[in-house]
Amino acid sequence: MTITAKFEDGVFKPLEEVGIVEGTVVEIHVPSNLHRPRSKAQSVGDFDFYGMWKDRTDISDSVEYINNLRQNLRG
């Protein structure tokens, strides 16, 4: 049996009627990607790769640079 529930105030609350006797001990399996509290969204500037090409003089316009790479795939 699978029961959809919401975790609120430290308690799992079923979102639908369940046919289980009050006081029954159950086992809950939480997907591993849901067990951590969600943190705020990271800024691009928080990642290690941010700014890694800032000193490149051959990339003045990144969109133009990428378009040139795509057009000249084989050099």
Residues 10-39: tens digit of each pLDDT = 999 999 998 899 899 998 888 776 556 666
Residue 20 within any structural domain of the chain: yes
Give the span between the Cα atoms of 9 and 27, in whole angstroms.
19
For CA atoms 58, 63, 68, 73, the dihedral sign is positive
Local structure of residue 36 (DSSP, 8 states) = S
pLDDT digits (tens, 9 = 90+) for 48-64: 888 888 888 888 888 88
Is residue 14 in some structural domain? yes
Whether 36 is in a domain gets the answer: no
What is the span of the domain harbouring residue 57?
Answer: 5-31+41-71
| Number of structural domains found in the chain | 1
Determine, yes or no, domain membership for 53: yes
